[in-house]
Structure 1
């Protein structure tokens, strides 16, 4: 019995924790009427401690994880200047598609309003000035006056800017500061391992958060979560089957239907594995079969697996709207632009750890003053969404690679159109 339990993946344990939390919360809501047992012992102590303890652990990770990953990511990205035009085009397209993705999510979230009706507004909850300040103030507030103070207080936009600058300087000085570069790389590895460790208690934290929520809300909390999932899936579908094909047609005049016919197996593999990194060899092979030169794809695909997180950006945009509506917070234009910028920056250098998108979501929430506690409501169903968004992520990598290769005259269109046999990489699956 114990051996079977050990074989259950962490993602499934989180899903189990969510379902059990909902069931137990509903049971307390409808069948337990003793205020001492229900409120004093369970809701206000056990569930409060378990849920908020987990949230605090997530908050603990955000600043050092983001700072180290941004520095390491910026340092490695700056090296692509050696590759010239290919590198510049790749980074630009990846960042543009991510910005489009999170914008789509914010629009869908404002239309469907997944968090409406939850009424989780907290009396006395401090509102971040980002909600009302002007764009000029927002730009100025991105520049840290005291980087140490920014790190200590979690001013995420300032942390991102400072990290980017440090990474660029490390890339420029190279061997002169190799020790510092290694220190940040090792620090990034440490934070990734710490993230994995914290995630081991996620099932307990999710159970407590869901039980506490549904003990007070009852069935009213189920519909918003379902609407949130619908928002994310609609956003992913638009990105994958409207935005990407449109970009392919506009920039290359190639047939997107032919692309999806060949690429469907890679999307299915990404869906089942929920990891972009594992799809890299298969992605490279399929692109080679479509006539894309390996000297382009061998650079753009691994880079995309690290910084191109369109699916994750859509999830984060929908989550922002969900939380803002649930807590009755009206996000202005400045706050929405801040979300877009922060989500795009969060995509750099944070791949490789399960559910890391939720950790960086904490950073996005902090940037505009949203209560991080709202993440607990969507934590349990993240694994289901993660499968879909991973498929979208790797599709974006491939489409952007074809565009860059086409502009660099590194696509054999006859091979792409099936008029000539491809020269494959010789990778077997």
Structure 2
């Protein structure tokens, strides 16, 4: 079986086991299985034990690769550029496209929310509360992009600082003549070894996905989804429309490439994104997809993919758009056209301004609500179903990262269309188990 098939089986089994355990626990703290002289607690042993440990080890292993992969890959890509000045063109196009797709995403979300009115008829919880974390200003983010200690930036996983240092290091190598060429050979070898490590890790992905899904669906509160069903499905509908319609139209209009081919090749990375709920943790897989399946040159992908994982917030923007309308309707607050335009502008700029902040989605939402005078306590109403929606948002963000990467690569003449149109490109990624045996 292909790796994608095995991941889907692991996901399906994890969801089934999670629902089974939830039915057995039935709201109880735990359930004891009698085994002769002692009893085995289901929740403590399986959910908080095996499932939690297995899932967290898998996520940690993915995150372990992010900094070395991004740094080495970006250095290789930068030093291989014939003209380092192209970085300005790459950066301008990438950031511009990411902001445009974010603005489109939140506009679509607000339109659907106004059309279906998910907040009408919702009973307010009496204990609704939410502590607002202060988001950094855009000026602070720009200053913090430049590391005072690059090793500290790598240790803390500060991706914007790692990206800046890797770009500067790669440019210095390109301008250093023979010395730079000798170091470049070492980095190319390092890149090969790290990509092999990615391949090894992907082989155990189905088990990691099983553990993550089993724990999530044992603990998720289904009654919250039922009570917020309208909000939930409006967000999901907006996410799917943005991924399948907006991205497809932009890809076709800007490159002429076949969107169906693109979406088919994205399924593997999207499954990873869905199961991990982290664009950063999925970055090794996203980079592999962009270069090996979509035919993007590493000099472009190594720049646009890490940048997108840091600042591309299309999925989060959609949640913000629907949530803003939802909370306004719940609290019976009428927003004007200028308010909605302010929401679009604030959320689009915040997608850059809050990059790298933990819990970025809810922090950005708090900023947007404050901007239009809505009570931040409304976040407490939707926070219960946000974990499940976050999984879908991540898959959409990853798709957006690769779409922008293809557009930028095509405009720079750095996309191999023979690889893009080849349905068997990087078949080894789908059949890793065969190469391992």
- Corresponding residue number in structure 2 for 1:243: 246
The yes-or-no answer on 1:259 pairing with 2:301 is no
What aligned pairs does 1:66-145 form with structure 2 within 5 A after superposition?
83-118=87-122, 120=124
Q: 1:424 to 1:334 in 2, by over 3 A?
A: farther
- Corresponding residue number in structure 1 for 2:73: none
- Corresponding residue number in structure 1 for 2:16: none
The yes-or-no answer on 1:6 pairing with 2:9 is no
- Corresponding residue number in structure 2 for 1:275: 278
The yes-or-no answer on 1:413 pairing with 2:417 is yes
Q: 2:335 aligns with which of 306, 331, 334?
A: 331
> Secondary structure of the equivalent of 1:370?
coil
Residues 276 and 394, structure 1, Cα contact 8 Å, conserved in 2: yes
Query: CA separation in 2, counterparts of 1:107 and 1:389?
Result: 18
**Which 5+ residue runs of structure 2 have no aligned equivalent?**
1-40, 56-83, 127-131, 160-219
Cα offset, 1:265, TM superposition:
1.1
- Corresponding residue number in structure 2 for 1:375: 379
Q: 1:338 to 1:365 in 2, by over 3 A?
A: same
Query: CA separation in 1, counterparts of 2:408 and 2:330?
Result: 41
- Corresponding residue number in structure 2 for 1:45: none
Query: CA separation in 2, counterparts of 1:169 and 1:357?
Result: 22
Q: 1:318 aligns with which of 318, 322, 331?
A: 322
> Secondary structure of the equivalent of 2:95?
helix
Residues 306 and 350, structure 1, Cα contact 8 Å, conserved in 2: no
- Corresponding residue number in structure 1 for 2:11: none
> Secondary structure of the equivalent of 2:121?
coil
**Per-residue CA shift, 1:341-383, capped at 9, x if unaligned?**
2212222264567643123211211111111111111111111
**Per-residue CA shift, 1:371-398, capped at 9, x if unaligned?**
1111111111111111111100100000
Q: 1:168 to 1:81 in 2, by over 3 A?
A: farther
Residues 102 and 316, structure 1, Cα contact 8 Å, conserved in 2: yes
- Corresponding residue number in structure 1 for 2:346: 342
**Per-residue CA shift, 1:199-230, capped at 9, x if unaligned?**
xxxxxxxx9xx9xxxxxxxx9x9766110001
Cα offset, 1:119, TM superposition:
6.1
Residues 306 and 349, structure 1, Cα contact 8 Å, conserved in 2: no
**Per-residue CA shift, 1:265-309, capped at 9, x if unaligned?**
111111111111122111111111221101000110011001001
Q: 2:360 aligns with which of 341, 356, 363?
A: 356
Query: CA separation in 1, counterparts of 2:432 and 2:346?
Result: 39
Residues 315 and 393, structure 2, Cα contact 8 Å, conserved in 1: yes
Residues 290 and 422, structure 1, Cα contact 8 Å, conserved in 2: no
Cα offset, 1:424, TM superposition:
9.5
Residues 294 and 406, structure 2, Cα contact 8 Å, conserved in 1: no
- Corresponding residue number in structure 2 for 1:385: 389
Cα RMSD over matched residues? 4.0
Query: CA separation in 1, counterparts of 2:246 and 2:327?
Result: 26
Q: 1:228 to 1:411 in 2, by over 3 A?
A: same
Query: CA separation in 1, counterparts of 2:424 and 2:269?
Result: 22
Query: CA separation in 1, counterparts of 2:93 and 2:376?
Result: 35
Q: 1:286 to 1:168 in 2, by over 3 A?
A: closer
Q: 1:234 aligns with which of 234, 237, 247?
A: 237
Query: CA separation in 1, counterparts of 2:279 and 2:294?
Result: 20
Query: CA separation in 1, counterparts of 2:320 and 2:96?
Result: 21
Query: CA separation in 1, counterparts of 2:361 and 2:380?
Result: 13
What aligned pairs does 1:92-241 form with structure 2 within 5 A after superposition?
92-118=96-122, 120=124, 163-168=137-142, 178=148, 225-241=228-244
- Corresponding residue number in structure 2 for 1:22: none
Cα offset, 1:418, TM superposition:
1.6
Number of positions where the alignment pairs a residue of Structure 1 with one of Structure 2 = 294
* TM-score, length-scaled by structure 2: 0.58
Residues 121 and 326, structure 1, Cα contact 8 Å, conserved in 2: no
Query: CA separation in 2, counterparts of 1:231 and 1:399?
Result: 23
Residues 236 and 311, structure 1, Cα contact 8 Å, conserved in 2: yes
> Secondary structure of the equivalent of 2:241?
helix
Q: 1:320 to 1:342 in 2, by over 3 A?
A: same
Query: CA separation in 2, counterparts of 1:301 and 1:325?
Result: 37
> Secondary structure of the equivalent of 2:281?
helix
Query: CA separation in 2, counterparts of 1:351 and 1:384?
Result: 21
> Secondary structure of the equivalent of 1:366?
helix
* TM-score, length-scaled by structure 1: 0.60
Query: CA separation in 1, counterparts of 2:393 and 2:144?
Result: 32
> Secondary structure of the equivalent of 1:118?
coil
Query: CA separation in 1, counterparts of 2:321 and 2:257?
Result: 30
The yes-or-no answer on 1:397 pairing with 2:401 is yes
